[in-house]
Amino acid sequence: MPTSTIAPSARISEDTTLGHYCVIGADVQIGNGCQIGHHVVIHDGTVIGDFVRIDDHTTIGKQPMRAPNSAVTQDTLQPPARIGSRCLIGAGVVLYAGCTLGEKVLVADLATIREAVTVGAFTIVGRGVAIENKCRIGRYCKLETNVYVTAYSVLEDRVFVAPGVLTSNDNFMGRTEERFKHFKGVTVQRGGRLGVGAVVLPGKEIGPDAVVAAGAVLTKDAPAQQIYAGVPARPFRAVPEEQLLDNQGWEDATADERG
């Protein structure tokens, strides 16, 4: 019969179900009512909340690898990953050690979330999304298919990122020692939105409720409540009043989410 390998020090709730051929490392904690798929690997010390679903072939708590010439990955051992209650984690996902997911986060199939990353509650990380190390993603964000979030980036609450958006943190493109002084990811402030296929260059800041249009290349900061379009992106017009975040009637959490 197929079996899983579970370290003696792992603590798994009795009503959690495990698929075939799982590997559960030392000191792992898995809460009540979780559903773990087939061939899931959960590395040492990982903490998983209640009612979490993890689909087949996902890895949680992997320590990062560092190439000899890596500019942003460190050799230090990362703390265990932490997964909030009621998260949904798809198939083939890789969550590194040192990442933390808030409650009710959805991470779709084949996504990767690196070390030293926090993802706020109720956020959606779409299929094939890559979030590099040392990023902070807020609450109620939506990152759609194949988004790339470069290291050292900040996305505040209620940010929307359409499919295929690309970001960068290195204006020197890997040349000269000077680049090590200037690494900087992108910042998207509360309610900012990035259209499909947009490109945001290193260190650029997108203000609250600003919009970067589909296919735009943002080479300068984008102040609040303005739409930027073109290559390079330029101010196009103001965001319509009815589209502003504060005019949507949304609260931070519904009564059901609070419960």
Which tens digit of pLDDT belongs to each residue from 29-47? 999 999 999 999 999 999 9
**Confidence tier at 253 by pLDDT (50, 70, 90):** low
Q: What is the pLDDT at residue 258? A: 47
Residue 151 tokens read as 């290291």
pLDDT at 2: 65
Return the pLDDT at 69: 65
- Characterize 78-90 residue by residue with b for buried, 16 or more Cβ atoms within 10 angstroms of its Cβ, and e for exposed: bebbbbbbbbbbb
SS3 at position 205: strand
Q: pLDDT tens digits, residue range 136-178? A: 999 999 999 999 999 999 999 999 999 999 999 998 777 777 7
pLDDT value, residue 252: 73
Kindly state the DSSP code that residue 255 receives in the 8-state scheme.
H
- Angstrom distance (rounded) from CA 126 to CA 196: 13
Supply the pLDDT for residue 255: 44
Render pLDDT for 190-224 as a digit per residue (tens, 0 to 9): 999 999 999 999 999 999 999 999 999 999 999 99
Q: What is the DSSP string of 37-54?
A: -TT-EE-TT-EE-SS-EE
Distance, CA of 93 to chain centre? 11
- pLDDT for residue 259 is more than 60: no
Whether the Cβ atoms of residue 161 and residue 150 lie closer than 8 Å to each other: no
Residue 126 has pLDDT above 90, yes or no: yes
pLDDT in tens, 51-108: 999 999 999 999 998 776 665 556 789 999 999 999 999 999 999 999 999 999 999 9
What value, to the nearest 5°, has the Cα angle with vertex 52 and ends 26 and 138? 100
**pLDDT band at 49; cut points 50, 70, 90:** very high
Written as one string, the DSSP assignment of 100-133 is: EE-TT-EE-TT-EE-TT-EE-TT-EE-TT-EE-S
- 119 — pLDDT class (breaks 50, 70, 90): very high
The distance from CA 106 to its chain's CA centroid, rounded to whole angstroms, is: 10
Give the C-alpha separation, 214 to 166, whole Å.
12
The pLDDT, as a whole number, for residue 256 is 47
What domains sit in the chain, N to C, each tagged with a CATH number? Answer: 1-64+78-143 (2.160.10.10)
Q: How far apart are CA 240 and CA 225, in angstroms?
A: 8
Q: Distance between CA 165 and CA 144 in Å, rounded?
A: 9
